[in-house]
Amino acid sequence: MTTLKNVPPYDSSKAESLASPELLDGGVRLFQAQLASAAAVPQAIWEANLSILSEMLTFMSHRMRAQAEFCGHLGHCKEIAEAVDVQRNFAQSVTGDYSQEVEKLSDIARKNLATFSAIGAQCASALGGSGKLAA
């Protein structure tokens, strides 16, 4: 246990070496890079999740509207051949819509991956290549 009797006297030469501008600048740069990554990554994740959610909800509303229209058209059919045509057209539109939606979601995922990569590169460059991000 350290008591006042065991504390060594203050040595100003040691204190000055700990507060050197180079050491402080490096520490400040590292801290700024860690703060930047801490702020950028969660925001990018939220934006990615919200953009995917927005696209999916838009698609769902489109499909629900198409389903309601299909039921309405089917209800007005008087011949079996007419009902078969309505069902065939609906099935074709469903196939096309889902194909387009997969493409849209893939584009969003690619853009978000590029954003995450850019954030990682920005954080790495902020460290100057000499430091490592804290886990």
Distance between CA 110 and CA 116 in Å, rounded? 10
**b/e map 18-44, b = 16+ CB within 10 Å:** eeeeeeeeeeeebeebbeebeebeeee
Which pLDDT score, from 0 to 100, does residue 135 have? Answer: 44
55-114 pLDDT per residue, tens = 999 999 999 999 999 999 999 999 999 999 999 999 999 999 999 999 999 999 998 888
23-61 pLDDT per residue, tens = 566 667 766 676 666 666 677 788 888 899 999 999 999
Distance between CA 43 and CA 37 in Å, rounded? 10
Which pLDDT score, from 0 to 100, does residue 60 have? Answer: 95
Closest CA to 126 of 56, 34, 1: 34
- Is the pLDDT at 16 greater than 60? The verdict is no
